[in-house]
Every structure is written in structure tokens, then in C-alpha cells.
Amino acid sequence: MRIISANVNGIRAAAQKGFFDYLSKSNADVVCLQEVKAHLCDLHENILSPHGYHGVFECAQKKGYSGVAIYSKEKPINVQNGLGIPEFDAEGRFIRIDFKDTAVLSWYLPSGSSSEERQEAKYRALDALLPVLKQMINEPKNIVICGDWNIAHQNIDLKNWKANQKNSGFLPEERAWLSHVLEEIGWVDIWRTLYPEEPGYTWWSYRGQAYAKDVGWRIDYQIVSPQMAKKAQSAHVYKDERFSDHAPLIVDYA
């Protein structure tokens, strides 16, 4: 089972850059997208259900903002739009699909980099997600949470960690929250488990030739339940083509 997570920073822009050609050759069973930045009425059929995939979307109320989606080869038996957190459901940040034995979520945690108000919103989102994560880990299903978490967890997860210790995305409170999710609740960060010494950057600023110089951040994750973690075989970040300021994260599970 191959699962891809990709922040596309506008699904129509990514389409113009060849994302769906890549998708057709990716052999993915499930593809989770973040920052779709579109409403369903804006999208053609070749984006709603490309190459025979079943597509489900959760769009933000605001036009051109946020939004998540999941494509799957197999039709899901259940789709959950939102997590019952009104402030963030209105921003189109969470969607879940269920199969018989497995559930996959695509979520896009808020960024706090634009203002203090958005950082406070990010903290509210993290507080609201903790009980959800505590409840989900006790489900009998294999669970994969894909997405842009907007947090680099450890020093290895961003190039310039010393200079970013007071910046959103690498604040002590955010990192402690993610440590709690992984070390105390029990979720598993697949990339860091498979590759303890590999940075695995998935996002690069458009400024200062960050991509060319590989000055990146690892903020896109596949974080999974312990039983699913046992099935993880390999992972890679796809950089042969560039569809947005993020790169797709691919994990193969047995």
C-alpha cells in the first residue's frame, strides 16, 4: 500500500505544473492533499476524480484558502468531513476516509507565521487535537494521519534550527506538543523511525534560493498508529519535479 502526502499550495496551480501526470505514474493507493485552495465548483472532473481515483474534498468557506482532499483507488466505505472543531472545520483542515481495516486522514494544521493572532489559533488547534489523537489511537483500525503539521520536531528537521528557535513552526511549545503526541500518546513518526539520521526536508521557502541550497524544513508527516507502523517498509521525498513549495512524501506499507 503506497500512500502519498502532498501540500500542493493550490491544486489548480499544481495541475499546471504536472502534478496529475506525476500522480498517474506514482502507483499510489491513497493520495492526501493539503492547501487545495479551491471550491468544488471551481474544479473540473479531471481534478475531482483523476485517473480513476475516488476523490473526496473538504474545502474552506473562504475562497482560495486552505482545504484538504484525499484520492483513493478503492472507494472508501465512509468519509468524515471535519473533526467537529468548528473554528478549524470552517477552514477546511480535516478529512478522513475509512476502509475495512484502515483509516487515512489528511489534515493541514494552521501556520502561525503570519501574525500573533494566527499563532494563538494554532495553539487552539493543537489543544483541540489532543483528545482526538488520544481517542483515535485506541481504535482497532490501522490509522495513517498525513499532512502538513507546520511543526519541525527536532533540530535535524530543519537546516537552520539555531536561527529559528523563536519562529513559528519551531517554537518550544509546538515541539513539546509533538513530543507528547509521539512519546506519550504513542503515535509513530514514520520518516524519523525509518531514517533516524536523514533530515527528510519537505518544504523550502521561495526566498534566498532555499530549494537550490536545500535549506529546508520537515513539516509534512505520515504519523501512524503503532500497528500500522509495523507495516512501514520504506519512504522517500519526491524531488524530481516541483509542484509547490512542498515536496510529496511517499511511504510504502506492507
Residue 148 falls in the annotated catalytic set:
yes
For residue range 164-183, what is the model confidence (pLDDT) as tens digits?
Answer: 999 999 999 999 999 999 99
Mean pLDDT, the chain, rounded, equals 97
* pLDDT value, residue 231: 98
Cα 153 to Cα 226: distance, rounded to the nearest angstrom: 19
Residue type, 167: N
Percent of the chain at pLDDT exceeding 90: 99
At residue 80 the predicted structure's pLDDT band, cuts being 50, 70 and 90, is: very high
- Asked if 92 and 66 count as a contact pair (C-beta separation under 8 A), the reply is yes
* Paired residues of 127 in beta bridges: none
pLDDT at residue 44, rounded to an integer: 93
Answering whether pTM is above 0.95, one says yes
- For the segment 196-222, the average pLDDT, to the nearest whole number, is 96
Q: 68 pLDDT band (50/70/90 cuts)?
A: very high
- State the catalytic residue, choosing from 89, 98, 101, 148: 148
Looking at residue 232, what is its pLDDT?
98
Report all structural domains of the chain as residue ranges with CATH numbers, in order of start: 2-253 (3.60.10.10)
Q: What b/e sequence results for 77-93 when a residue is b if at least 16 CB atoms lie within 10 Å of its CB, and e otherwise?
A: eeebebbebeebbebbb
Q: pLDDT class for 97, splitting at 50, 70, 90? A: very high
Q: What is the pLDDT of residue 144?
A: 98
